[in-house]
């Protein structure tokens, strides 16, 4: 705490809020700890109620993503909080009475060790989560939608993040290209299989995971967390996809202080803006117009981000550009930006890599990112967008559109697929440039996509 106070003084923090959660409420030396913190910092410690803790936990998850719709679970050492969120332009509809259950990682591990009847404890958890879900009073229309389409589940808290790191260490793509857990998603069947493998049985008191990011404490807790996850999935079988969040109570408290209009702003695009060319929006519109309407909507964020970053690595030697570009959201300037899934981050890196020529000294990372995206058609669209970006960089090398030098028009072919009509308005531009080759590369990839659509 003294170290924390020293840092605050060193950077001239003029306003400080301190909040405390479940551990402070229940630990035997809680009042003593609270008094010492207040003495050292000179700031009152606010003890959050269980309802406040659940609310801020959900808002911490909301901080982690651009849009949040689904069920949330936040795990601590002593309890787990359940809530739901429906995003309305940055204003979140959530339960008026979020549920707190006494099944935190430490508490549950102790109960499992002390119990001779794990089936009975599992039944207790299943009933508790089913009851908690009903108490949330989720709107009926959303319940029906979830039963038909599946319910997204968002997880936060150290115990769940530890389980996410375990999943990353066992992912088919290895070494897994991202180290941050935020934005990592898995489908229910993978989640369930891993939980079954690592769930507490009495003999596996500690997981055998080799993940370098898992502390010894988390490894001890993981079998209990896996046992908990199995129970949640049994209680709520309509869960479809699980996404992990880095956000917690601290981020939730800060996010709550923002106006809905600020919350609604896309953090990815805010981060990209500082690198954007003068004619960013015009470039973005040109690229969008080179895509079929359905794909333009699907790739809207990726197009917006990559058109902002299309000149970001021009200052580097040519041999380093594509490698730096592919690392943009892994270890590059946008690493750690909230609101981006791992697949989106991989897609952005691949588009920018293509923009800078695709060639790399280290092909293995590019291959792993392609495997993470998975879908072959999706990868072709990614390369197509990157090639359109590269073409625009050749046509407008300063990033400023002062006159129309090239007309691009996408049309559908009668037999299926698409055709991109190009008209070079400034004929003098072809001399000494690779514009004709760049146009040919764009057309070649679009022809592959057209052929794929017809088959």
d(Cα 351, Cα 325) in Å, to the nearest integer?
A: 9
The whole-number pLDDT of residue 206 equals 55
What parts of the chain have a pLDDT lower than 70? 202-214, 425-433, 454-455
The whole-number pLDDT of residue 202 equals 67
* Lookup: tokens for 289: 């117009």
The whole-number pLDDT of residue 416 equals 81
CATH of 267-454, one of 3.40.50.2300, 3.30.950.10, 1.25.40.10, 1.10.3210.10: 1.10.3210.10
User: Residue 251: what are its φ and ψ, rounded to 5°?
Assistant: -65, -35
Tell me the domain boundaries of the chain: 2-47, 50-256, 267-454
What class is the 2-47 domain?
alpha beta
Q: What's the per-residue H, E or C state across the chain? A: CHHHHHHHHHCCCCCCCEEECHHHHHCCCHHHHHHHHHHHHCCCEEECCHHHHHHHHHHHHHHHCCCCEEEEEEECCCCEEEEEEEEECCEEEECCCCEEECCCHHHHHHHHHHCCCHHHHHHHHHHHHHHHHHHCCCCHHHHHHHHHHCEEEEEECHHHHHHHHHHHHCCCCCCCCCCCCCCCEEEHHHHHHHHHHHCCCCCCCCCCCCCCCCCHHHHHHHHHHHHHHHHHHHHCCCEEEEEECCCCHHHHHHHHCCCHHHHCCCHHHHHHHCCCCCCHHHHHHHHHHCCCHHHHHHCHHHHHHHHHCCCCCCCCCHHHHHHHHHCCCCCCCCCCCCCCCHHHHHHHHHHHHHHCCCCCCCHHHHHHHHHHHCCHHHHHHHHHHHHHHHHHHHHCCCCCCCCCCEEEEEEECCCCCEEEEEEECCHHHHCCCCHHHHHHHHHHHHHHHHHHHHC
d(Cα 184, Cα 190) in Å, to the nearest integer?
A: 13
pLDDT tens for 370-394 read 999 998 999 999 999 999 999 999 9
Backbone torsion region of residue 184, taken as left when φ is above 0, otherwise alpha when ψ lies between -120 and 50, otherwise beta: beta
Q: Do domains 2-47 and 267-454 have the same CATH topology?
A: no
Q: How many CB atoms lie within 10 A of CB 417?
A: 17
The whole-number pLDDT of residue 67 equals 84
CATH numeric code, 50-256: 3.30.420.150
Q: Are strands 45-47 and 406-412 parallel, antiparallel or unpaired?
A: unpaired
The whole-number pLDDT of residue 54 equals 80
d(Cα 24, Cα 77) in Å, to the nearest integer?
A: 11
The whole-number pLDDT of residue 268 equals 95
d(Cα 24, Cα 356) in Å, to the nearest integer?
A: 52
């Amino acid at each position: 705490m003294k170290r924390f106070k020293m840092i605050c003084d060193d950077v001239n923090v003029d306003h400080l809020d301190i909040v405390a959660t479940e551990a402070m409420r229940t630990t035997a030396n809680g009042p003593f700890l609270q008094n010492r913190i207040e003495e050292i910092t000179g700031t009152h410690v606010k003890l959050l109620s269980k309802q406040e803790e659940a609310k801020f936990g959900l808002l911490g998850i909301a901080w982690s993503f651009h849009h949040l719709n689904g069920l949330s679970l936040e795990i601590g050492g002593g309890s787990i909080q359940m809530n739901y969120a429906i995003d309305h332009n940055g204003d979140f509809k959530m339960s008026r009475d979020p549920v707190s259950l006494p099944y935190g990682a430490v508490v549950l591990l102790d109960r499992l060790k002390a119990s001779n009847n794990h089936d009975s404890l599992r039944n207790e958890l299943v009933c508790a989560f089913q009851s908690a879900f009903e108490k949330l009073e989720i709107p009926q229309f959303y319940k029906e939608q979830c039963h038909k389409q599946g319910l997204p589940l968002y997880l936060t808290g150290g115990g769940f993040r530890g389980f996410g790191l375990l999943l990353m260490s066992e992912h088919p793509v290895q070494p897994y290209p991202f180290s941050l857990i935020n934005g990592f998603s898995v489908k229910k069947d993978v989640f369930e299989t891993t939980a079954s493998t690592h769930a507490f049985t009495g003999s596996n008191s500690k997981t055998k995971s080799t993940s370098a990011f898992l502390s010894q404490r988390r490894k001890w807790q993981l079998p209990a967390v896996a046992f908990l996850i199995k129970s949640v999935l049994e209680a709520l079988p309509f869960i479809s996809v699980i996404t992990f969040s880095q956000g917690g109570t601290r981020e939730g408290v800060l996010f709550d202080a923002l106006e809905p209009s600020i919350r609604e702003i896309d953090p990815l695009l805010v981060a990209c803006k500082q690198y954007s060319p003068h004619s960013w929006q015009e470039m973005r519109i040109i690229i969008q117009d080179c895509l079929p309407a359905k794909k333009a909507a699907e790739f809207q964020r990726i197009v917006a981000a990559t058109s902002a970053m299309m000149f970001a690595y021009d200052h580097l030697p040519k041999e380093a550009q594509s490698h730096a570009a592919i690392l943009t959201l892994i270890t590059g300037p946008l690493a750690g930006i909230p609101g981006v899934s791992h697949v989106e981050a991989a897609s952005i890196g691949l588009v920018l890599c293509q923009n800078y020529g695709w060639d790399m000294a280290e092909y293995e990372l590019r291959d792993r990112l392609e495997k993470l995206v998975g879908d072959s058609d999706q990868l072709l669209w990614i390369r197509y967008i990157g090639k359109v970006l590269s073409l625009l960089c050749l046509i407008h090398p300063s990033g400023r559109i002062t006159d129309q030098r090239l007309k691009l028009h996408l049309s559908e072919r009668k037999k299926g697929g698409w055709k991109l009509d190009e008209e070079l308005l400034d004929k003098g531009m072809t001399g000494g440039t690779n514009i004709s080759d760049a146009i040919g590369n764009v057309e070649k990839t679009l022809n592959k996509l057209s052929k794929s659509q017809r088959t």
